[in-house]
């Protein structure tokens, strides 16, 4: 492919509704969550941890605004004309805006909404290059240069700058598209080392590789958060995940032919930026270390790190490049789609399941389930269902009165409803774990644990002490502690029982 840059303006769509994009989301946030979007106008160097440190310091203040870095340095050390955006999905409020949910939507409501959207898939819509904002600037061949982008080095000891956004491949036999998150280390202007664990993308790549073929691949470097949430979906291999993403967006994902493979491989038309190329058969690369989702550095690898040759980078005018992981390596709130997936599985086994907590550092390999137990053994069935998915290692099952999103509630139930000898079941290391779990003694196999913190049905159990409901309904606090006094009492987050 010869080096070439093409620029143009997208054809007007005056009467059509505007497709969802990162820009449309930011407009929604400005309207719905004023104050949650800030610009950093000073020059920052993302490849030397400036961005990581700024976010870490805001984290310490419990502040998680969307941050647009207007003047980030690219990997050549020059001020980039492409801003870097962080934290677009981090917080319940932003996810509510992304999914058009009311501010009152609880975490369980959001997980249920993810389930609903996964069930109401929307087929994609094909558009021409002229209609695709992502084709406003097209750089192919040597003009496609990753070192001209503001790419972050996220953590100390990372092997280099990393792209962490969702990548898509297409199964050769079924034609379905699979989208998932893979870290990739920048190795050159048009080369990355792409880490792949043995899941759907690996299976698709191996089919190309075993037939001596290049595997077409694209990476979306910025899009509406609903796209990024849909890309977290994990389901049956045969499901086309562009349809799932359409479900998350609530509208068809508009697709346009890629520069490299034409209409044999389609890419999102309304992305801010798409990078496309091929995973090369028979080649592996040294890649890592990298600070991974469990909060630990994943070691340098070779056998599972693929050679991703970049053939084109296309973007809209005014595009931003996005990174979605925190300084700790995880993707809080973005991963909430998985909570919905667990909810679906465990409810199929036990209809009385009320909530599942799967998202958060404490829940990376552990699942917390609350349920109304109808029969003894329901808790074991729910746990077994959770083990069939993802990388589950520990399952904690609670009664419905326990808020599985509240660590104090969880620890209280573990202390008061569990007899270790009776209620903890250990399963030996017969399960596929996650290669990123630093506790593994094996490369991938893991043991597992079920902790039954439900109260027995067959005998009386001491009731939970509480204030009577009628007293709570009868007493109006402001009748006894006037508002002006109440407002002067400082918040106290040190008092454990509240």
Residue in 326, 446, 343 with CA at minimum distance from that of residue 386: 343
> What whole-number distance in Å separates Cα of residue 115 and Cα of residue 113?
5
Sequence-distant (≥ 6) Cβ neighbours of residue 421 within 8 angstroms: none
| Residue 371 bridge partners (DSSP) | 353, 399
Nearer to another protein, 40 or 152 (CB): 152
- Spatial neighbors of 487 by CB under 8 A, at least 6 apart, are none
427 near another protein, judged by CB under 8 A: no
Q: Is 442 in the site for another protein (CB under 8 A)?
A: yes
Contact between 464 and another protein (CB under 8 A)?
A: no
Site residues (CB under 8 A) for another protein, limited to 34-73:
none
Output the smallest distance, CB 10 to another protein, in A: 40
- Among residue numbers 146 through 185, which ones bind another protein (CB under 8 A)? 157-160
Which is nearer to another protein, 81 or 442 (by Cβ)? 442
For 158-294, where are the E strands, in sequence order? 162-163, 166-170, 177-181, 184-188, 191-195, 215-222, 254-258, 262-268, 273-284, 290-291
Residue (9 or 303) nearer to another protein, CB: 303
Query: DSSP characters for 393-442?
Result: -EEEEEETTS-TT-HHHHHHHHHHH--HHHHEEEEEEEEE--TT-TT-SS
CB of 47 to another protein, least distance (A): 12
Cβ distance to another protein smaller for residue 185 or 240 = 185
DSSP state of 87: -
Binding to another protein by residue 428, rule CB under 8 A? no
Per CB under 8 A, 436 contacts another protein: yes
Q: How far apart are CA 370 and CA 342, in angstroms?
A: 12
Selected from 72, 222, 247, 298, the binder of another protein by CB under 8 A is 298
We find the least distance from the C-beta atom of residue 52 to another protein, in angstroms, to be: 15
| Per CB under 8 A, 380 contacts another protein | no
Exactly one of 141, 299, 352, 360 binds another protein (CB under 8 A); that residue is 299
Q: Which stretch binds another protein (CB under 8 A): 11-19, 239-247, 289-297, 468-476?
A: 289-297
Identify the three-state secondary structure at position 93: helix
Phi-psi region of 128 (alpha: psi -120 to 50; beta: other; left: phi over 0): beta
Does position 301 interact with another protein (CB under 8 A)? The reply is: yes
Residue 90 CB coordination number (10 Å): 23
Residue 160 vs 360, nearer CB to another protein? 160
Q: Is 438 in the site for another protein (CB under 8 A)?
A: yes
- Closest approach of another protein to the CB of residue 159, in Å: 5
Question: In whole angstroms, how close is the CB of 162 to another protein at the nearest point?
Answer: 11
d(CA 405, CA 368): 8
| Footprint of another protein (CB under 8 A) | 157-160, 286, 288-289, 296-303, 433, 435-444
């Amino acid at each position: 492919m010869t080096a070439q840059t093409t620029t143009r303006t997208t054809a007007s769509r005056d009467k059509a509704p505007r497709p969802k994009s990162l820009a449309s989301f930011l407009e929604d946030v400005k309207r719905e969550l004023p104050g949650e979007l800030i610009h950093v106008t000073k020059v920052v160097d993302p490849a030397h941890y400036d961005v990581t440190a700024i976010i870490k310091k805001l984290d310490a203040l419990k502040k998680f605004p969307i941050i647009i870095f207007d003047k980030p340095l690219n990997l050549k050390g020059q001020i980039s004309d492409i801003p870097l955006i962080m934290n677009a999905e981090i917080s319940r409020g932003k996810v509510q805006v992304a999914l058009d949910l009311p501010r009152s939507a609880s975490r369980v409501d959001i997980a249920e909404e993810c389930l609903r959207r996964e069930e109401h898939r929307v087929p994609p819509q094909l558009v021409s290059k002229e209609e695709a904002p992502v084709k406003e600037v097209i750089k192919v061949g040597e003009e496609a240069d990753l070192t001209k982008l503001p790419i972050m080095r996220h953590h100390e000891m990372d092997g280099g700058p990393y792209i962490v956004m969702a990548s898509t491949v297409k199964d050769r036999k079924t034609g379905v598209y699979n989208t998932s998150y893979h870290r990739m280390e920048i190795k050159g202007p048009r080369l990355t080392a792409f880490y792949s664990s043995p899941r759907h993308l690996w299976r698709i790549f191996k089919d190309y590789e075993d037939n001596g073929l290049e595997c077409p691949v694209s990476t979306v470097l910025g899009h509406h958060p609903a796209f990024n949430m849909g890309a977290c979906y994990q389901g049956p291999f045969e499901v086309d995940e562009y349809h799932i993403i359409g479900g998350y967006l609530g509208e068809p994902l508009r697709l346009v032919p890629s520069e490299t493979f034409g209409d044999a491989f389609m890419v999102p038309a309304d992305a801010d930026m798409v990078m496309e190329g091929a995973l090369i058969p028979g080649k592996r690369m040294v890649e890592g270390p990298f600070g991974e989702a469990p909060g630990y550095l994943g070691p340098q690898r070779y056998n599972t790190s693929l050679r991703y040759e970049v053939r084109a980078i296309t973007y809209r005018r005014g595009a931003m490049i996005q990174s979605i992981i925190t300084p700790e390596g995880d993707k809080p709130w973005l991963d909430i789609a998985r909570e919905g997936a667990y909810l679906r599985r465990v409810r199929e086994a036990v209809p009385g399941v009320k909530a599942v907590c799967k998202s958060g550092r404490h829940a990376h390999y552990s699942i917390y389930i609350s349920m109304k137990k109808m029969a003894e053994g329901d808790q074991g069935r729910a746990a077994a269902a959770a083990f069939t998915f993802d990388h589950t290692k520990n399952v904690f099952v609670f009664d419905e009165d326990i808020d599985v999103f509240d660590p104090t509630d969880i620890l209280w139930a573990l202390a008061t409803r569990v007899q270790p000898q009776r209620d903890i079941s250990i399963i030996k290391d017969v399960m596929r774990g996650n290669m990123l779990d630093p506790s593994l003694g094996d490369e991938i196999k893991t043991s597992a644990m079920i902790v039954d913190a439900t109260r027995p049905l067959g005998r009386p159990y001491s009731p939970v002490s509480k204030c009577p409901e009628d007293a709570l309904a009868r007493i109006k606090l402001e009748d006894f502690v006037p508002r002006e006094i109440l407002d002067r009492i400082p918040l106290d987050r040190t008092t454990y029982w509240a």
